[in-house]
Amino acid sequence: MAIPRAAKTLRRTRIQEEKEEQILEAALDVFSVSGFRGSTIDQIAEVAGMSKPNLLYYFRTKEAMHRALIDRVLYNWLEPLRAFDAEGNPESEIRSYIRRKLEMARDFPRESRLFANEMLQGAPHVLDMLKGPLKELVDEKAAVIRTWIKSGKIAYCDPYHLIFSIWSTTQHYADFDVQVRAVLGEEHSGDGRFEDAARFLEQLFIGGLRPDRSGS
Amino acid sequence: MAIPRAAKTLRRTRIQEEKEEQILEAALDVFSVSGFRGSTIDQIAEVAGMSKPNLLYYFRTKEAMHRALIDRVLYNWLEPLRAFDAEGNPESEIRSYIRRKLEMARDFPRESRLFANEMLQGAPHVLDMLKGPLKELVDEKAAVIRTWIKSGKIAYCDPYHLIFSIWSTTQHYADFDVQVRAVLGEEHSGDGRFEDAARFLEQLFIGGLRPDRSGS
DNA sequence: AGATAATTTGACCGATTGGTAAACATTACA
DNA sequence: TGTAATGTTTACCAATCGGTCAAATTATCT
């Protein structure tokens, strides 16, 4: 007789680790494209190469699968912002934050789209995290930016909207990838577009935040 | 006997106009949140306040409803970019383009999310439009921006990524509204945040594109 | 090897899905 | 006002949905 699923977390088998990994990988494929409501367990089972009841042996419900996936993805997703350092000089900090976020958009586009899907639906599964830990982290980094402003290292600006604009411009290359490719055409759709984007965004943000003669 | 639906477009009744309007309004509500796959005809019927077979009297399939909705929304959605004028001076053109796009994010957030959902899913219903009319329009405006660069009115930059960054920063306030509200907190979630965003984005883009001493 | 625990699957369930058929109700127009 | 076209609803369909169950299979450990 199989162990009740509640006890599974006590001792994890090799097979459990592998299969749960395999399932979440497939779930990321599916959820990131169709969102929670639009995805089906059968789709995920097919991508994972296992039967539907087998998925449900490891995750009791579709909700549980989605929650596990979000949990695993979220921590890494905020890593670049956490690395945002008060000690470094503003220009290089902003530059490397843009770089890091662009690298994530390039290397983990499914994670970005999973998150975007969740936002579009009103964040039903992560609203508490947005209002809690995320807000606290952003508040902290906004305070750092404000010290840079007060010491005259960068132009006066709203630090929250600065962070929003770095998020949106970088994630755009993951979430709207299909549009970017269509507009740039086949010839400019290679990985080179990320280097072009990085150059442009660095110029935009460094120039736009230059302390002297900035703003209207 | 009811007229076959193919003939309906020949002469449109008052009731047809009203009901189709009513249905597309409800469809926008539902599709913009859950995407195509995640939305059901029953949901739309409930929002529209009519029975499911009644919806299907006006639109034969869920696909037809979605297509009609996209068609109606797309033209207006590109209006701000179309208004982008080569004659005006760069600073005021960019300024007013940002303004217009932000106003659309504020006044038509569902339209923005409908479009975002479509992009996340790989644009299955609008890919041809992206590669055709949209690309042509963007190519045209990119050429305008390039003349500004060559005449030294704005700094050298990639015009495509400039357009992408205006799209992403402005649409962010519609698509990620729930995140913006959560991070800013209840006190700053009023309509004032759009004015703050406008001020910040104008400063960012005007400063970032200033011709002298720009770039790294 | 044998026993026991862990894993996998086929068959199945009730609910929901997109969509249909036909009866019924309403409107527009002569 | 009559009647034909238009509009609406009830009842229903096959397919798919999330999820269960028991039987069959495989891994683990002594």
Mutate to test the interface with A, among B127, B146, B165 (most CBs of A within 10 A): B165
Q: Is the Cβ atom of A1 within 7 Å of strand C at any atom? A: yes
Mean pLDDT of chain B: 92
Q: Could you identify the residue whose CA is nearest to the C1' atom of nucleotide C24?
A: B1
Q: Say how far apart CA A144 and CA B102 lie, in whole Å.
A: 27
* Of residues B63, B174, B184, the one with CA closest to residue A120: B174
Taking the stretch 39-78 of protein chain B, residues with Cβ within 7 Å of any atom in nucleic acid chain D are 50-54, 57
Total residues belonging to chain A: 216
- Measured between CA atoms, the residue of chain A closest to residue B181 is A131
Return the half-sphere exposure (C-beta side, CA atoms, 13 A cut-off) of residue B55: 25
Residues 6+ apart with CB under 8 A from A42: A52
Structure confidence by residue, pLDDT tens digits, A24-42: 999 999 999 999 999 999 9
Pair of tokens at residue B135: 């690309």
Structure confidence by residue, pLDDT tens digits, B189-207: 888 999 999 999 999 999 9
pLDDT band (50, 70, 90) for residue B85 = confident
* ipTM, interface predicted TM-score of the complex: 0.92
Total residues belonging to chain B: 216
Residue B214 has pLDDT above 50, yes or no: no
DSSP codes joined into one string, A108-141: -HHHHHHHHHHHHTT-TTTHHHIIIIIHHHHHHH
Q: Say how far apart CA B112 and CA B120 lie, in whole Å.
A: 12
Structure confidence by residue, pLDDT tens digits, A57-88: 999 999 999 999 999 999 999 999 999 887 88
Judge contact between B214 and A203, C-beta under 8 A: yes
Answer yes or no: pTM beyond 0.90: yes
Q: Is the Cβ atom of B67 within 7 Å of strand C at any atom? A: no
